[in-house]
Amino acid sequence: MPVIRQFFHTYFTIIDRYLMREFTLNMLAVTVVLWLIFVATRFARYLAQAALGNLPSDVIFSLLGYSSLGALSVLLPMSAFLGVMLGLSRMSSDNELTVIAACGISSSRVMRNVVIFAGSISLIIGALSLFIMPDVVSQRNSLEQKSKLSAETAGLIAGSFKESRDGKWTFYSEGLGKDGQNMVEVFIEIHRDPKPLVFRSNRGRFEIDAETNNKYLVLENGYRYEGQPGQLDYTITHFETHSLLVETGEKQEVNEHLKSLPSTLLWQRGHARDFAELQWRISAAVMTLILCVMALSIANNGPRTGRYAGFLPAILVYIIYSNLLGVTRAWVAKGDMAPWLGGVWVHLVMILLLLAMLNRQKLYFHWLQLRRKQGAV
């Protein structure tokens, strides 16, 4: 801390430190509010899953911790944007920006502090999105999968028959192993016409494929019976290992798996979905820098407009920006857009909008001159 304080006192003036403090405090306040909202909604979701028996109650807080950490890369861009906007709006409504300009400090000096602040936050977001968050999401997904498998086997009562939700399976297990996941003396009947299937094995366990998120029931050292009871065309097959597809992985689960892959692996594989995910991670940092500079124009609307006058336009700009990036991500993943273009066009459009907002007085002046010339002619 003394080293950081000495660095700021050496290279930043009182006005610079004041601006940085305003941006930081507002960003932290917005981050805490958004983080609490996210934690509350995710906690309610986990409680609902635990009430249905799809998730053990003892892992809720662990999953909540991983989820809240994983949300930082999504919350920080908006928090930094609103932090800069709210800080500058308050200074504008209290005439502080007018006093700063009257003291000989130009608007470019204020913009320099905004760029330094936004650049620092962008570097942090880039490191989080590219290197830290994939590992956090991977650990969360691993814990969630193991928890769901434990809940799946915990619902089995030793020595009792259990029917699947669609009524196509009848399941029986003599008991569970010490780990609570491996089953012993497994019996399964699959109802199908014209030849039902019957499986009997010494051991069984549930597994989830890491690539497709399909859920399988893996049977070991057993027999497979196929045929209609009482008929002569009966087939008996002995197997060492046999996998049965229990549930197909949903698209959301596949996307969650893609989020957990390291950035270097996404670059090496080079699939369209991999490039889309990689561009999404990079876009979080680029978006933060562009939005924070744009907040300088949104917030400085004059002293009589109020400190929250730019809040609604800021939210609209963020929603449009993030939605455009999301749509572009889907286009790249589907192969409808070239990966090299990707989210670049969205950032270029927002940069052009930013330049227009920063130079709106000059553009308005040129427009008036053009109108006068046309009127004179």
CA 227 vs. chain centroid, Å, equals 48
| φ, ψ at 226 (rounded to 5°) | -130, 125
Whether residues 216 and 271 fall in one domain: no
> Of 248, 269, 287, which residue constitutes the final position of a domain?
248
Distance between the two ends of the chain, CA-based, in angstroms? 67
Instruction: State whether 172 and 75 are in the same domain.
Output: no
Q: Are residues 9 and 130 in the same domain?
A: yes
Judge if 139 and 55 occupy the same domain. Answer: yes
Domain that holds residue 136: 2-151+255-371
The last residue of a domain, from among 219, 248, 277: 248
Q: Do residues 19 and 128 both lie within one domain? A: yes
> Do 29 and 131 belong together in one domain?
yes
Residue 285 lies inside a defined structural domain of this protein: yes
Residues 30 and 126 both lie in one domain: yes
Residue 377 lies in a domain: no
User: 58 with 176, same domain?
Assistant: no
Domain end among 248, 274, 303? 248
The total domain count for the chain is 2
CA distance 326 to 336: 14
- β-pair type (215-226, 197-208): antiparallel
Distance CA 16, CA 173 (A): 69
- Tell whether 227 and 362 lie within a shared domain: no
Count of positions (residues) in the chain: 377
Q: What is the residue-level pLDDT of the chain in tens, covering all 377 positions?
A: 566 666 666 778 889 999 999 999 999 999 999 999 999 999 999 998 888 777 888 888 999 999 988 888 889 999 999 999 999 988 888 888 888 888 888 888 999 999 999 999 999 999 999 999 999 988 888 788 777 766 655 555 556 777 766 667 788 888 776 666 678 888 888 877 777 888 999 888 888 776 677 778 889 999 998 887 767 677 888 999 988 887 776 655 556 678 888 999 999 988 888 999 999 999 999 999 999 999 988 887 665 667 788 888 899 999 999 999 999 999 999 889 988 888 899 999 999 999 998 888 888 888 888 888 776 55
240 and 286 inside one domain: no
Give the strand order in the sheet containing 183-190. 161-163, 169-176, 183-190, 197-208, 215-226, 235-247
Whether residues 125 and 75 share a domain: the answer is: yes
